[in-house]
Structure formats: structure tokens, C-alpha cells
Amino acid sequence: MPRAKYVNHKGRSRHFTSPEELEEQRKKKNDGESEEDESDEEEDEDGSEEGSSDSDFEDAHKNKGVQGLIEIENPNRAVKKTAEKVSKIDLNAASSSKAELSRREREELEKQRAQAHYQKLHAEGKTDQARSDLARLAIIKQHRAEAAARREAEKKEKEDKKKSGSKS
């Protein structure tokens, strides 16, 4: 009598196929295949038209009635559109097919074009920000040059003092 309320039947009576039985099944299968191969070869030698008519009959037999006309794909099933990244969309192809792009995609493309244009102008130094950056860099370079000149002058003064101090 089982201890629990529900009984698990999973491990009760397991039947394992012995290796001898497996080997016998393989032999039977191989023998059956070789006999079929021989009979197919004989039919091909007798007349190839009979073999093709048999295959036509099998195809017609598989698709009974309207099944031969119906395709496997369901026409009512709506195919989901996969979302494409804007970086993958070709800019030239996008301009030729603007009607296909959504508003968000168009805005994103315009945004990318504008940013690329701004980066190009910025690299050439034609934007206000680039001009201010270049001016700031010029001031920094000037300060560094002045500081380097000052350090060099102080270095020379120290060397002169050492030389004049060592002479006396």
C-alpha cells in the first residue's frame, strides 16, 4: 500500500532493450532495405515509365481533394515586421523610398544627417563652438609658451649664479 496520497508510476516497470535484441533489429532492417533496393533496380530495368507513374500516383494519393490546392502557409496569418535599426538602413535607399519610412525613422535619419553635417563643419572649424575651442586652444598655447620661456629664463639665471658663485 502506498504511503502517499498520489502514486508516482515513473520507475515501476522499466523495460530495457538488450544489446542482442538491438542487433537483431538492425539485421532485419538492413535485410529489408537490401531487398527493397534489389526490387527497385529490377523495376527500373523493366520500364522506367511504370516507376514514374507510381510516384505520380503516390503524390496524388498524399494530397486528397482540396489539400493539393491549399498551400501550407496560412494566408490569414499576419507576418510580423521586424524592427530594423536606423544605423542599418541605407541612406541612399531610404531617400528613394521615403514613403515606406515611418515618421520616427525619417526623423531619426534627419537627425543623423544633421549631426554628420555639424561634425563635418566642426572639423573644418566653421562652427561657433569650433571657433571658440580654437581660440581657447590658442590662448592655452600662448600661456604654455610664456611659462616655458619663464622656466628657461629662470634656469639660465640659476646656471649663471652657480657659475658666478663658483668663480669667486
Q: What is the pLDDT of residue 51?
A: 46
Residues in the chain: 168
Q: Check if the beta carbon of residue 128 is closer than 8 Å to that of residue 134.
A: no
**Angstrom distance (rounded) from CA 97 to CA 13:** 67
Orientation angle between helical segments 19-46 and 48-62, nearest 10 degrees: 120
Mean pLDDT across 133-155: 96
Q: What is the pLDDT of residues 28-82, one digit of tens each?
A: 888 877 666 555 555 555 544 444 455 555 555 566 666 666 656 666 777 777 7
The verdict on pTM exceeding 0.85 is: no
Q: What is the pLDDT of residue 95?
A: 56
**Angstrom distance (rounded) from CA 33 to CA 40:** 11
The answer, yes or no, to whether residue 146 has pLDDT greater than 70, is yes
Calculate the CA dihedral of residues 146, 151, 155, 160 and round it to 10 degrees.
40
